């Protein structure tokens, strides 16, 4: 199990330098709207008293995209961040993130073992990272440990679609057969972007992930699929 996790981490180390460009090209920039929606809903589901001094952790932060969106959306929503930290097991990704966001704290770690205190975060986010966590149950338990009661967990992820419509099948064809070539051209690593559709196929349905969240102490508040079920946004409250 740990060998598989290390292989995934090494793969992300390898594509770190081209990761942002590949993501923008492959998503045509539409992931920006998904991230913005995630931030807005997280703020709106927090206790009002938390909004003046938010403590946020972004797990599997990669090159820091989600952290940039947290900062941008606080300005729009009249919210103040007291602290924000990015955590990722890939040192290659973190090196890119540190150059982009020199004033943000980043730490290398796996999602299953976070160097954070109990009940210390108002928001914990993980964007397109949970399907890459081999020991997912341990990671979800860690999220529950570090989020404050009534705090918010934000998950953005590619989820498996059961009984797809014709349009969803077409999107699935794009993801499985065309996207790896685009990502491979940009990153010069076809194998890494072949992993993406394979990991989606092996991942959970939205219903199953919500069930796992409930098992570790979260109450799902909002689940919404975007772009023909390519991406799903989960907002859950820590009970």
In order of their start, the domains of the chain are 2-6+28-160+204-238 (3.40.50.150)
Q: What average pLDDT does the structure give for the chain?
A: 87
Q: Please give the structure tokens belonging to residue 112.
A: 């299953």
Confidence at residue 128, expressed as pLDDT on a 0 to 100 scale: 87
Confidence at residue 78, expressed as pLDDT on a 0 to 100 scale: 85
Q: Which of 114, 154, 112, 155 is nearest to 134 (CA)?
A: 112
What's the average model confidence in pLDDT over 172-189?
Answer: 66
CA distance 129 to 21: 18
Give 14's DSSP letter: H
In terms of C-beta distances under 8 Å and separation of at least 24 residues, what long-range contacts does 170-179 make, across chains too?
170/228, 171/227, 171/228, 171/229, 171/230, 175/200, 175/230, 176/201, 179/26
Does the annotation place 88 within a ligand binding site? yes
Gyration radius of the chain's alpha carbons: 17
| Higher-pLDDT residue of 55, 160 | 55
Alpha helices per DSSP H over the chain: 2-15, 19-27, 31-44, 65-77, 91-100, 136-146, 166-173, 179-187, 190-202, 206-215
Can you give the pTM of this predicted structure? 0.90
| Higher-pLDDT residue of 108, 14 | 108
């Amino acid at each position: 199990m740990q060998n598989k996790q290390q292989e995934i981490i090494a793969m992300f180390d390898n594509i770190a330098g081209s990761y942002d460009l590949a993501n923008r090209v492959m998503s045509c920039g539409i992931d920006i709207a998904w991230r913005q929606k995630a931030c807005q809903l997280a703020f709106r589901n927090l206790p009002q008293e938390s909004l003046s001094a938010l403590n946020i952790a972004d797990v599997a932060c990669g090159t820091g995209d989600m952290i940039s969106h947290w900062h941008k959306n606080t300005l729009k929503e009249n919210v103040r961040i007291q602290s924000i930290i990015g955590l990722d097991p890939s040192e290659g990704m973190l090196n890119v993130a540190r150059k982009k966001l020199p004033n943000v704290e980043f730490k290398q770690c796996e999602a299953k073992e976070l160097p954070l205190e109990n009940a210390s975060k108002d928001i914990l986010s993980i964007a397109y990272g949970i399907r890459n966590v081999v020991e997912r149950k341990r990671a979800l338990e860690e999220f529950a440990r570090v989020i404050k009661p009534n705090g918010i967990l934000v998950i953005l992820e590619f989820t498996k679609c059961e009984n797809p419509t014709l349009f969803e099948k077409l999107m699935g064809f794009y993801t499985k057969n065309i996207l790896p070539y685009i990502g491979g051209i940009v990153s010069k690593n076809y194998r890494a972007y072949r992993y993406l559709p394979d990991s989606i196929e092996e991942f959970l349905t939205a219903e199953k992930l919500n069930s796992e969240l409930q098992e570790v102490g979260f109450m799902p508040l909002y689940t919404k699929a975007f772009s023909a079920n390519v991406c799903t946004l989960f907002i859950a409250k820590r009970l």
